[in-house]
Structure 1
Amino acid sequence: MKVLHIIPSVSPRRGGPTQVVLNLIKCLREQGIDAEIATTNDNGSDGLSPLDVPLNQRIEYEKVPVWFFEQFSPPKGVQIGKDKGFVFSAPLTHWLWQHIRDYDILDNHYLFSYPCTCAGAIARWQKVPYTVRAMGQLTPWALSQSRLKKQIYSFLIERKNLARAAAIHCTSIGEAEDVRNFGIETPTAVLPLGVEPPIFRPAAKQKIREIYGIAPPTPIVLFLSRLHYKKRPDLLLRSLSKLADRNCDFHLILAGSGEPDYLSYLNNLISSLNLATRTSLPGFVSGEDKDLLLQGADIFVLPSFSENFGIAVGEAIASGLPVIVTPDIQISQEISAFETGLVVEGEVEPLANAIAQLLESPEKRQKLGENGKRLASDRYSWQKIGHHLATVYTSILQQQPIPPYPDNSKLRCSTVLETEK
């Protein structure tokens, strides 16, 4: 079997999607599938030079085979497709038209982006089956961003792209519900993303307290994600302010990078809420520093407006860290069903109460953390995911029903929101 994954960019600056596609290709190749990536030399939306890679040829990139094609660069001062945007590439279009039939099936990552839209259209024309990854872009919150542009794009292109796909890959039951709510009846394959097993860091709790000057008895609340209004770190700060008023002991670490204006807003908010002595902002972390945070903290909180999976949440679960999330993070069903954390409404009082509940109960934190390790090992293994994805491709090519991923039957279609288990 020969499979081509299409994605607008594999720049490290694109975060989770890049990590996902590279790991998927590695796992598929371990299954004996000849899997490759076709993408552009995009390197983010902040004026950086394109990726310095050979173009128009198959190369090894991050230990997987990748075809890179030149991204269209608009004249200086003209912005087209900010962030994970349109990413137009004429050379990619030409190559796809010539070579798409060299592959048995295509796997398209992302909606509302030229490379995947183009690949879907050419695949339909040349009768090559393809799948589409929704990537959280059909949630009500995501559709409300640049609403008019997405409505026009959907009417002209994207609905047909989704409706004619062989399957839509969803990472959660909630994302599959979003597909149906968008009016698409294409079969869905609900298959989670994988999480790399953490590298064990001895004495992480001691080291993290030494680094940030935190007293040993003080519980650490960790937020580890992009510092962006979508992730709602401001809601977390307002909730913790309530706990500070109740004389609860805690220290917050807000780890992540963000735009200067938003970082300034957060710093001002921290000061106004009198949380400066209880809060650390280390910026972007990776490698050992990231491991120490995930293994040294006591609670992980992400009250985001919208996440289709939330790689950071998965990493926290795999590290044995109890998590608190909103139902808008679509693996909240799994967090609830497998008892790895608490799922609460994204409001100040419910979030404050959930944090207080775990701060006051080390025993419950340990139980939820152990459940999380088991969940990550059983469900979020890249090898297991790669094996199942291979069976999904085979089923599509043989025109058979798509097999369910193990344990999906345990998940409820609607998460019960509660702070008591």
Structure 2
Amino acid sequence: MKILFIAPYIGAIYGGTSKMVTDLLEGIGRLGVTVDLVTTNANGSNTLDVPLNEWITRKYYRVQHFDCWYRDDFIISASLIKWLVSNINNYDIVHSQTVFSPMISVTHLICKYFHIPYIVTPHGMLEPWALSYKIWKKRIYYKLFENPSIKNSSAIQAMSSLELKNINSLQLQNTIFIPNGIHCKEFETLPTPEIFYQQFPKTRGKTLILFLGRIDPKKGLDLLAPAFAKVHNQFPDTHLVVAGPDNIGFMDKAQNYFLQAGCLDAVTFTGMVSGTLKYAALAAANLYVAPSYSEGFSISILEGMASGLPCIITTACNFPEAAKAQAAHVVEIDVNAIANALIECLSHPQQATEMGDRAREFIFQNYTWDRAAHKLIQVYKTVIDGKPLPEFLG
């Protein structure tokens, strides 16, 4: 069995989606399945410094990058299209990552022409908020391109139970529920917080609240600013860390939210953090917050919980299971609800610590890349054999 992944980008600046793709590839490859990834060299306002048009061998998979033209998230690569036409018949199934992307739409057309089955993972782009953002452009594109190509897919992967419900509400069939995960070994021992303090000395000695995600309208920073202002007034030693890339030029607006709320001096914008620095940020943090308007299934939330942090997330983060397991505060998309949950954690540190411990155990037991890879391989085999999708994945 040979699997081909295609993603329009995997640059770290694009946030969690890129990490999801590469971590899942590693999980699948570790189980002995041949899996390749083709993508572009897009990376925000720059390009990745990588070899083009040749395979790069990772430990468990191969990746090949192609040059592209892009503006913001609109990415197209003539050389990648040419490669797909010449090589797609070498694979048993194609797994495409994200939607509302010209490269993915073209890939689906090529798959249809060559009779290669394909699976679609929307990564939250079919959520109600995401569909309503830039609604007129998306409505036209969805009707002309996305809806037909998604309907022709062999399976649509939802990464949360709520995303599954929302996709089904669009009258799309062949949905499967396979959530994201983490590599447990990355969270067994976190690095010393000192690494983070040295890079950002203003955070030393503070009670740190960590936001880990892209600087983007859907991430709810307009809600977090007044919520954090209320928290900071009651707990002056708190400091908010906003850690994530700005790949759409939203930083000035985001910072202005905190300026207007009167708490900008208690906020550190780190830009993108990765590798050891990211894990040191998780080690340094006391609380984690995700005030999102829309998510598919956030990797950074799993990382916060796996790090043992008390987490405050909105209902739009699509993780009701965390609330049911008492492993996180899941609150409405509302300034006061976010502020009150943060204040409750700060007012009752012992209970917050216990919730963080439950979160860590909950993620380690239920949300790993090994589990996700095992379930996906079941789906691949079913599709290739021409059988109906299984109702339950073990």
Q: Distance in 2 between matches of 1:345 and 1:233?
A: 15
Find out whether 1:84 has 2:73 as its counterpart: yes
Out of 178, 189, 210, the position equivalent to 1:200 is: 189
Q: Distance in 2 between matches of 1:200 and 1:289?
A: 14
> Post-superposition shift, 1:247?
5.5
Paired amino acid for 1:22: T
Q: How does 1:339-358 map to 2 (within 5 A)?
A: 339-358=326-345
Find out whether 1:365 has 2:352 as its counterpart: yes
Paired amino acid for 1:30: R
Out of 271, 276, 295, the position equivalent to 1:307 is: 295
> Post-superposition shift, 1:244?
3.9
> Post-superposition shift, 1:169?
0.8
Q: Cα deviation per residue 1:247-286 (whole Å; 9 max; x = unaligned)?
A: 5652222223437974444445444544255333333322
Structure 2: 5+ residue runs without aligned partners?
none
Q: Distance in 2 between matches of 1:97 and 1:272?
A: 52
Which region of structure 1 is more displaced relative to structure 2, 272-281 or 126-135?
272-281
Q: Residues 25 and 246 of structure 1: is their aligned pair in 2 closer, same or farther, counting only changes over 3 Å? A: closer
Q: Cα deviation per residue 1:109-129 (whole Å; 9 max; x = unaligned)?
A: 121222222222222222221
Q: Distance in 1 between matches of 2:243 and 2:11?
A: 21
What is the number of residues matched between the two proteins?
A: 391
Q: Distance in 2 between matches of 1:239 and 1:18?
A: 29
Partner of 1:150: 138
Which region of structure 1 is more displaced relative to structure 2, 252-261 or 284-293?
252-261
> Post-superposition shift, 1:49?
4.3
Which TM-score applies when normalising by structure 1? 0.84
CA-based RMSD of the aligned residues comes to 2.7
SS of residue in 2 equivalent to 1:108: strand
> Post-superposition shift, 1:232?
2.0
Q: Residues 170 and 268 of structure 1: is their aligned pair in 2 closer, same or farther, counting only changes over 3 Å? A: closer
SS of residue in 1 equivalent to 2:71: coil
Q: How does 1:13-412 map to 2 (within 5 A)?
A: 13-40=13-40, 42-46=41-45, 48-49=46-47, 51-55=49-53, 57-60=54-57, 64-71=61-68, 73=69, 82-85=71-74, 87-184=75-172, 186-196=173-183, 197-198=186-187, 200-201=189-190, 204=193, 208=197, 212=201, 219-246=207-234, 250-258=238-246, 262-330=250-318, 332-398=319-385, 399-405=387-393
> Post-superposition shift, 1:36?
0.8
> Post-superposition shift, 1:64?
2.7
Q: Residues 267 and 14 of structure 1: is their aligned pair in 2 closer, same or farther, counting only changes over 3 Å? A: closer
Q: Cα deviation per residue 1:90-117 (whole Å; 9 max; x = unaligned)?
A: 3333332333222111111121222222
Q: Distance in 1 between matches of 2:61 and 2:224?
A: 39
Larger radius of gyration: 1
SS of residue in 2 equivalent to 1:154: helix
SS of residue in 2 equivalent to 1:328: helix
> Post-superposition shift, 1:385?
1.6
> Post-superposition shift, 1:228?
2.7
SS of residue in 1 equivalent to 2:373: helix
Q: Distance in 1 between matches of 2:85 and 2:198?
A: 56
Paired amino acid for 1:312: S
Q: Cα deviation per residue 1:123-142 (whole Å; 9 max; x = unaligned)?
A: 22222211101111111111
Paired amino acid for 2:153: A
Q: Residues 327 and 405 of structure 1: is their aligned pair in 2 closer, same or farther, counting only changes over 3 Å? A: farther
SS of residue in 2 equivalent to 1:52: coil
Which TM-score applies when normalising by structure 2? 0.89
> Post-superposition shift, 1:317?
0.8
Q: Distance in 2 between matches of 1:157 and 1:206?
A: 47
Paired amino acid for 1:166: S
Structure 1: 5+ residue runs without aligned partners?
74-80, 407-421
> Post-superposition shift, 1:193?
1.3
Q: Distance in 1 between matches of 2:50 and 2:373?
A: 29
> Post-superposition shift, 1:390?
0.9
> Post-superposition shift, 1:377?
1.1
Q: Distance in 1 between matches of 2:262 and 2:37?
A: 49
Q: Residues 198 and 123 of structure 1: is their aligned pair in 2 closer, same or farther, counting only changes over 3 Å? A: same
SS of residue in 1 equivalent to 2:25: helix
> Post-superposition shift, 1:354?
1.0
